[in-house]
């Protein structure tokens, strides 16, 4: 992470929470708010040309998701998982902050663990 505006301790906590759950399948971690986005981690074998602003525009819809799903029989909204040809993207939001994490293939249980691990880290940074 270069030219970072994030507190280095917070950035390390985000990365550590993801690495603990996902291990070597972790591809990247990005942190976002309504007006900022930052790549927190990128695995060394990946290209750094992803359109973070474009991804952030899509993932910011997550700030409204919890409200829109509130009161449904599904229970509390926890995370969004998107499937791609070469892996997955998981979005977790807490209040007005969020993170998306990209991974290689892994089981659904690990996505649930990831959401549970990221929520308290994001909430602590509010």
Confidence at residue 3, expressed as pLDDT on a 0 to 100 scale:
53
Q: What is the pLDDT of residue 40?
A: 95
- Whether residue 2 is contained in a domain is answered as no
Residue-level pLDDT at 17:
95
Domain extent, residue 50, equals: 8-124
DSSP-assigned letters across all residues of the chain: --S--S-HHHHHHHHHHHHHHHGGGEEEEEEE-SS-EEEEEE-TTS-S---HHHHHHHHTTHHHHHHHHTTSTT-S---EEEEETTEEEEEEEETTEEEEEEESS--HHHHHHHHHHHHHHHHHT-
Average pLDDT over residues 5-28: 94
Residue 1 covered by a domain:
no
pLDDT digits (tens, 9 = 90+) for 45-104: 998 888 899 999 999 988 888 778 888 898 888 899 999 998 999 999 998 899 999 999
Provide the CATH number for the domain around residue 119. 3.30.450.190
Overall pTM surpassing 0.85 (yes/no): yes
Whole-number average pLDDT of the chain: 90
Let me know if residue 14 belongs to a domain: yes
Number of domains in the chain: 1
Residue 63 maps to a domain: yes
Residue 3 lies in a domain: no
């Amino acid at each position: 992470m270069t030219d970072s505006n994030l507190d280095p301790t917070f950035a390390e906590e985000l990365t550590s929470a993801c690495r603990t759950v996902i291990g070597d399948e972790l591809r990247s971690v990005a942190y976002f708010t309504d007006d900022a986005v930052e790549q927190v981690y990128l695995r060394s074998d990946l290209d750094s040309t992803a359109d973070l602003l474009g991804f952030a525009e899509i993932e910011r819809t997550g700030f409204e998701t919890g409200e829109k799903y509130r009161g449904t029989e599904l229970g509390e909204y926890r995370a969004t998982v998107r499937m791609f040809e070469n892996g997955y993207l998981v979005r977790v939001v807490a209040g007005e902050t969020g993170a998306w994490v990209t991974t290689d293939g892994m089981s659904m249980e690990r996505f649930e663990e990831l959401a549970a691990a990221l929520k308290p880290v994001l909430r602590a940074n509010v």
